[in-house]
């Protein structure tokens, strides 16, 4: 309790330096950390009518979260895998991207870095739009196809309708097209010189670069799960459904 009270009295800048995840937690509560670096957590929470203990509890809860490993995901059926990926999509759209957007738009850099933040403010929204489009396209095509194949597999669709699946683009083709989106943050990585943080960088710039790097790492893991687990399972499902349909056609 005493330790918690001490945290309440520390400045936002100090606390974020100790654990930059707090910056995202504060954003979750509607607080832009970079606007209050010199103020104590206690004072900022009072201004936004938030209980500081709730902020610290949320930070600890976030720190305790553990993502499933690829081996663990491999053991689950494809439906569970799709559910996990959809949940990650919601996290990117509702949490990670808005948090980064708020920093890109709100953080001020030194005069020597004015051109960098100007370019980032032009580039990042384009990346966000492209990435969200990619997510929606993936859910509307691949995820919908997987759901459709499951319906055929379960016998929910009449044979005369089910055979139309043969005319659709194969999942193998979708996989090949998906590979082209695997390095979405290449331009941002190049602009920031591989997220290189200078020794005299401000706290806000450090957090921005760390969070950009974190997002890229998460996107790479996400793409790997899709390429190495989801697509092979989807191809196998499609192959099995096609096999069963051919048997049904022959028996009619």
Provide the residue-wise pLDDT of the chain in tens; the chain has 252 residues.
445 667 889 999 999 999 999 999 999 999 999 999 999 999 999 999 999 999 999 999 998 889 999 999 999 999 999 999 999 999 999 999 999 999 999 998 877 778 889 999 999 999 999 999 999 999 999 999 999 999 999 999 999 999 999 999 999 999 888 766 567 799 999 999 999 988 888 999 999 999 999 999 999 999 999 999 999 999 999 999 999 999 999 987
Domain residue limits at 200: 70-251
Cβ pair 128, 101 in contact under 8 A: yes
Same domain, 177 and 241: yes
Q: How far is CA 179 from CA 175, 212, 223, in A?
A: 7, 21, 8
For the chain, what is the domain count? Answer: 2
Same domain, 140 and 189: yes
Three-state DSSP class for residue 184? coil
Query: For position 181, what pLDDT does the model report?
Result: 58
Q: Which of 13, 39, 63 is the last residue of a domain?
A: 63
- Cα-to-chain-centroid distance, residue 132: 10
Please check whether residue 208 is in contact with residue 192, taking contact to mean a CB–CB distance below 8 angstroms. no
Residues 80 and 107 in one domain: yes
Q: Which of 45, 63, 81 is the last residue of a domain?
A: 63
Q: What's the helix, strand, coil split of the chain in %, to 5?
A: 80, 0, 20
* CA distance readout (Å), 215 to 95, 109, 146, 149, 212: 11, 21, 27, 32, 5
Same domain, residue pair 92 and 207:
yes
Let me know whether 51 and 111 are in one domain. no
Cα 15 → chain centroid: 24
Whole-number pLDDT of residue 2: 45
Q: Which of 20, 47, 63 lies at the terminal end of a domain, its last residue?
A: 63
- Asked whether the CA dihedral 64, 70, 74, 77 is positive or negative, the reply is positive
Q: Do residues 199 and 113 both lie within one domain? A: yes
Strand partners, 11: 40
Does 80 lie in the same domain as 59?
A: no
pLDDT attached to residue 1: 44
| 27, 75: one domain | no
Angle at which helices 231-251 and 78-91 cross, to 10°: 140
Same-domain check for residues 83 and 206: yes
Based on the fold, state whether residues 107 and 148 are members of the same structural domain.
yes
Q: Beta partners for 40?
A: 11
Same domain? For 96 and 120 the reply is yes
Residues 162 and 185 occupy one common structural domain: yes
């Amino acid at each position: 309790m005493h330790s918690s009270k001490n945290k309440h009295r520390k400045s936002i800048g100090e606390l974020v330096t100790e654990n930059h995840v707090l910056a995202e937690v504060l954003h979750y509560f509607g607080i832009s950390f970079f606007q209050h670096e010199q103020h104590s957590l206690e004072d900022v929470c009072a201004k936004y009518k938030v209980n500081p203990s709730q902020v610290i509890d949320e930070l600890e809860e976030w720190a305790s979260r553990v993502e499933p490993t690829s081996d663990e995901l491999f053991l689950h059926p494809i439906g569970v895998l799709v559910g996990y990926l959809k949940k990650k999509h919601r996290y990117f759209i509702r949490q990670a991207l808005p948090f980064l957007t708020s920093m890109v738009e709100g953080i001020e850099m030194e005069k020597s870095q004015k051109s960098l933040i100007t370019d980032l403010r032009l580039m990042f929204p384009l990346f966000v739009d492209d990435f969200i489009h990619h997510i929606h396209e993936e859910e509307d095509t691949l995820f919908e196809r997987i759901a459709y194949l499951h319906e055929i597999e379960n016998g929910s669709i009449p044979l005369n309708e089910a055979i139309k699946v043969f005319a659709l683009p194969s999942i193998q083709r979708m996989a090949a097209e998906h590979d082209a989106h695997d390095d979405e943050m290449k331009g941002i990585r190049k602009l920031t010189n591989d997220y290189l943080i200078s020794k005299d960088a401000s706290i806000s710039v450090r957090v921005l670069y760390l969070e950009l790097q974190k997002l890229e790492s998460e996107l790479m893991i996400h793409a790997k799960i899709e390429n190495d687990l989801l697509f092979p399972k989807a191809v196998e499902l499609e192959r099995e459904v096609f096999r069963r349909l051919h048997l049904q056609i022959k028996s009619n």
